[in-house]
A = this chain, B = another copy of it.
Amino acid sequence: MSPLRRSQLLKGTTELLVLSVLEEDALHGYEIAQRIRDAATGLALSEGALYPALHRLEGRGALSATWGPGQAGPRRRYYRLSDDGRRQLAESRAEWDRFVADVGAVSRTAEDASRG
């Protein structure tokens, strides 16, 4: 068992991921997961994480949702980014960038020192 399990790293970024793929179009849940998988094969967002995240974001006012008919199958729930959601996305991106910079600062200064 090595450190840095994917499922732990994912905590906190799921919402950024969801908001990001909704930036361009309104999508339904399954499609959101597929887009994320297509863009980054290493990120396999499970349904047990996706749907609760969608509900959280909707409850927070970042997303609005409407039911629509299914193509060949059950009805779909389409999610659309609200104005507030766009603001939250920008904030999340900024916070993520800061966090990555911070972790890099710790991780890489040590690496450089041990290498130099």
* A residues apposed to B, CB below 8 Å: 1-6, 8-13, 15-17, 19-21, 23-24, 35-36, 39-40, 42-43, 57, 60, 62, 88, 91-93, 95-96, 98-103, 105-107, 109-111, 113-114
Closest B residue, CB atoms, query A90: B111
Closest B residue, CB atoms, query A22: B110
* 9 pairs, CB–CB < 8 Å, chain A vs chain B: A1-B60, A3-B62, A20-B110, A23-B114, A24-B110, A24-B114, A35-B106, A39-B106, A43-B103
* A103 touching B16, Cβ below 8 Å: yes
* Interface class of chain A by DSSP: helix
- What is the oligomeric copy number? 2
Whole-angstrom distance between the Cβ of A93 and the nearest chain B Cβ: 6
Closest B residue, CB atoms, query A1: B60
